[in-house]
Structures are given as structure tokens and as C-alpha cells.
Amino acid sequence: MEYICTRQQMQDIDRISMEDIGIPASVLMERAALAVVEEVKARFAVGAKCLVLVGPGNNGGDGLALSRILSEQGYSVQILLVGDHRRSQECDRQLNILKQIWMLTGAALSQILMPEEAAVYKEKQYDVVIDSIFGIGLCKPLVSPEVDVIRMVNQMNVFRIAVDIPTGLDADTGKVFGTAFKADLTVTFGYSKLGIYMGEGPVYTGELVVADIGFLKAAERQVRPSLYTMGKEMLNNLPERVANSNKGTYGRVAVIAGSENIAGAAYFAAAAAYRSGVGLVKVYTHGNHREMLFTKLPEALYETYDGRDACEVIADAAEFADVLVVGPGLSQSEYAGRLVYEALQQSKCPVILDADGLNIVAAHKDWLKERNTQVVVTPHFKEMERLTDVEVGQIAYETLDVATRFAQEYGVICVLKGAHAIVTGEGARAYINRTGNHGMSTGGTGDVLTGVIAAMVAGRIKASCQEEHVLCESGQWEAGKPEWLYDAVCLGVFLHGMAGDKAAELRGERALVASDLLDALCQY
């Protein structure tokens, strides 16, 4: 498990580590510099030409420290000072260390440039440019000379590395302050930052390395970061397979999906549930698609809902299943509305609302408050706009806040889909997913996600990290909320992204389609 921090949380951890615990700022700065140096060494041979952009604060101090270390290790380093280094005691201290080295050796190991010398560095053939102008503290638009320098280096044919966070990127929202350093690699310290995953963060961050520079667990426990993410250790939570099992052992999923002219959504959700290990799937859909679904997925059971009372259909599904999927391709007809309403009223097992299920509920949000079961919602930004009346453009930069408010107001688990999906729930530490890629921005992949989540919920996964992500004061989920449900949803989101990454390896991101994810799910 890795925690993700907001700007304030990271600043608090920094302050507690230095002021309360007593770790010198210079120690943290030296370790931060060494972390960046290691990434440079892993990619460029000794002698490579480096330009380090140094700002006026502690981030600039990191840049001066790494400039010194790179020079000592045989790299050709030039420093471009952007701003008054005397504004930061640590930055000024690092520059004085460099000057002392020059005096002792009689030779300048680093050449210092100023912004007005643009003609000098613009024409240089650098191998790498390292950005240490501003760190996470920046919360206002950039001005000259920072803007001019960043625009210049963004146009240069070099490898670009950001120190902690790209200059110009808001550490909380991922919003760009006019312009931002466009990194190929970002080396962030201690914990990754929320803004790296929000808004335009994924565009400007590039590859992400989270470097341990010595922040103590005591500071972490005092601050309690409100977000977390996980890697392949998530796979330890997969439902166990046992030797004396049967199809009922691994859960039953009912998929209520599809309409007169839409068939694929029901197929993708049902097939994804099977590929994710569920024991039995029953599809309730329009009779037009019965033959196609029989051919594509003969393993599933089928019922047609047209001509039947919605209450009867849901009663049958609720009796059969451990989890109901409602909405993919369902349309927004009056009959579809009755199916959604009855699912929320009748089901005692969890209900996953997706696609048209969400669009229907957007016009009847009171149904969510009057329901009789646990609900998981899986909106993309446009669906979230309909649910909350918050515009898509605002959601992009306030993703966590919007998802959290909705989850708390309606008592649901919310999976807000985007470049990095966020999972939020009442009393839970928010989960940010790091698997997946932009090749998954294609029709049907959301239906696959719904099926994968359903399989994890039906399989009753092991709840392995509740003590880590539960934030409510009692340390327990409220009565009636199964403690495994949140973990199951997070695992489903993780697996879906992991399948997308595997599919992209085989097909390429440009050519990826939803069917490729079904094949990739077989790998886990």
C-alpha cells in the first residue's frame, strides 16, 4: 500500500519530520537529490550534458544539490538560476556549497546561467533538462521569467525530468497554472501527490517514480493521508479457489442490461464477470439479442425481460444472484426506469449501477436514499455531471471532492472513472487506481469494468487492509456494511486496468478494443 498526499498533508509531514522530530532539512534535501541522480544515472552515461533549472525555494535547493552530485560523478552540468535563491535558506546554503567547491578546486564544476542568457542555453545540445523551479507549494499562475524558461525547454528535443512535481502543475487539482514543465519522468519524494493523478497531471508528469527520502512513519501516522493506492499486492485479495468447490462457491451475478437496439453492453459485462472468476452469470435482456448472446457466451443463463413485469424480473434476479448489475445499454425508457427502481427496492444483495442505470437515477436521486441495499455507482465524468450538476470541466480538477461528496450524501461506493479511477465510500480512505492506459478510451471497456467489479463482489474477496483505509473514528464500517465490499470494488478497478495494460502490450494502445480486455483477464 502506498499513500497519496494532498499539498497540505505533504507539507504537514515535511514540517513534522523537520520541526517536531528533528530531521535536518539538509538531510532530506541530500536524499532527494540522490534519488534524482540515481534516475539520471540509470538513463544516461557519465559525461551526458544536463541543464538544471533552479528556482528560489527548497525545490531549487534540491536542484543545486543534485547539480553538485552529478558534477562530482562526471556529468556535464549547467545551472539556470530562475528567481532569487536567497529567499530560501536551504537554497542559498546549497549554492554556497557549490561556490566553496569551486574555490577549493580552482575550477567551476558547474556553469551558472541566468534567464536573460536564453540564447546561450537555447542552442545547447543537452541530453536532459531537470526542473527544480517550484515544488508542491506553488498555487498561483507563473510569470516571467519562469514562463519563458519553461516554454523554451518544453520545445527542446531533450529528456525532461521534474523534481517532486512539474513546475506549473497544481499539487491538489492537476490544473496547469498557465504553462507547466512537460516531464518525461517525475521523481516525487516520500509520497505521490494528488495533482499528479487529477486534471492534466497525467499529461505533464510522464513516468512516475516515488522515492523514499526518509520521512518517518510517526509523521505519516499523525497526518493520516486521505488517499492510497496499491500495486500487484492487490492480487493477494483475489477470491480463493478451493479443490472441493462448485459453481456456487464463486458467486452468482445477475446482469440486467441491453435494450431493443443495444446488445454489446450485456455481453461485455457478463463475459467479464466470467473471465474474472465468478461461478454463474444470468443475463436479463431484450429478446432481440437472445440468439447472439447464446452464440457469443453460451456459458451464461438467459432471461428476456420484454413483455414481463419489471417487479417480477427483479424478484427473479434478486433471488438468483449475490450481486446485481443494472444499467449497461438498458436505455432510459419508462420500463428501464422501473427495472432500476425495483432493483434498488427489492434487492438485498449489492447493486452495481452503471451507464443508463446512472442516467435514470440522475433524474430520481431520491431512489438512492430510499433503497434497501448497498449500491456501487460507476460513472464517467459526463454521467457524474448528470448526477451532481457539476460541470465536466470542474469535475476534471475536483475529481476527489466531487466523488467523495456524492458518496457521502447518498451512502454509496463511487467509482469515478477517468485517467486514474477514484473509489470513494463513507468513512473510507479514497483509493486511486494506477493501472490502465488511454487505449482503454473506447466503447465497451466500461461494461467490462462493471462485470469485473461484480465478480469480485460476488466472490466475497478477502478484506486485507481495512485497518489501513477505514477513516471513521470507530475504526469500523457502519453496521450492515460488509467490510469486504469496498476492497472488492477497488480490486475490480485494479484488475480492469491491469487487463488493459496487458492488452496494450499485445495489441498496442491505439488498436485496443474491449474484447481485448476479456482475453487479458485470463492472465490473472
Q: Give per-residue pLDDT as tens, 4-19.
A: 999 999 999 999 999 9
The pLDDT of residue 478 = 39
Q: Which segment of 251-260, 475-484, 499-508, 511-520 scores lowest on mean pLDDT?
A: 475-484
Q: Which residues of 503-517 are buried (b: 16+ CB within 10 A; e: fewer)?
A: bbeebebeebebbbb
What are the pLDDT digits (tens) for 24-39? 999 999 999 999 999 9
The mean pLDDT of the chain is: 91
Which grid coordinates belong to 480?
Answer: 450492515
DSSP 373: S
Identify the pLDDT of residue 267. Answer: 97
- Smallest CA-to-CA distance from 498 within 416, 437, 412 is with 437
Q: What are 318's three cell numbers?
A: 434478486
Q: Which residues contact 310 (CB under 8 A, 6 or more apart)?
A: 335, 338, 339, 341, 342
Per-residue model confidence (pLDDT) at position 122: 67
Adjacent-strand bridge partners of 431? 228, 423
For 160, phi and psi rounded to 5 degrees?
-115, 130
The answer, yes or no, to whether residue 199 has pLDDT greater than 90, is: yes
Mean pLDDT across the stretch 316-323?
96
464 pLDDT higher than 60: no
Average pLDDT over residues 374-394: 97
Angle between helices 89-105 and 58-72 (to 10 degrees): 20
Q: Which residues pair with 52 in a beta bridge?
A: 79, 130
pLDDT of residue 100: 86
Stretch 194-209: mean pLDDT: 96
Domains annotated for the chain, with CATH where assigned, are 2-225 (3.40.50.10260), 246-523 (3.40.1190.20)
**Does an H or E element contain 406, and which?**
helix 399-410
pTM (2 d.p.): 0.91
| C-alpha to C-alpha distance for 474 and 476, rounded to whole angstroms | 5
Q: How far is CA 177 from CA 4, 46, 138, 429, in A?
A: 22, 35, 9, 28
Lookup result for grid cell 436479463: 284
pLDDT of residue 348: 93
Rounded to an integer, what distance in angstroms lies between the CA atom of residue 44 and that of residue 48? Answer: 6
pLDDT band, very low/low/confident/very high, at 248 (cuts 50, 70, 90): confident
Question: Among the listed ranges 155-169, 185-199, 469-483, which one has the minimum average pLDDT value?
Answer: 469-483
d(CA 66, CA 188): 14
- pLDDT tens profile 39-96: 999 999 999 999 999 999 999 999 999 999 999 999 999 999 997 766 788 898 998 8
Q: What's the pLDDT band for 108 if we cut at 50, 70, 90?
A: low
Show Cβ contacts of residue 193 under 8 Å, excluding neighbours closer than 6 positions.
4, 5, 6, 7, 10, 136, 164, 165, 171, 172
Q: How far is residue 281's CA from residue 302's CA, in Å, rounded to a whole number?
A: 9
Which one, of 444, 448, 402, 445, lies nearest residue 422 by Cα? 402
Amino acid letter, 144 = S
Give percent of the chain with pLDDT exceeding 70.
Answer: 93
Q: Residue 468 pLDDT more than 50? A: no
- Nearest Cα to 139, choosing from 114, 161, 165? 165
Q: Which residues of 120-153 are buried (b: 16+ CB within 10 A; e: fewer)?
A: ebeeeebbbbbbbbbbbebeeebeebbbbbbebb
User: Does residue 364 surpass a pLDDT of 50?
Assistant: yes
For residue 309, pLDDT beyond 80: yes
> Chain centroid to CA 422: how far?
6
Find out whether 249 and 242 touch, Cβ atoms under 8 Å.
yes
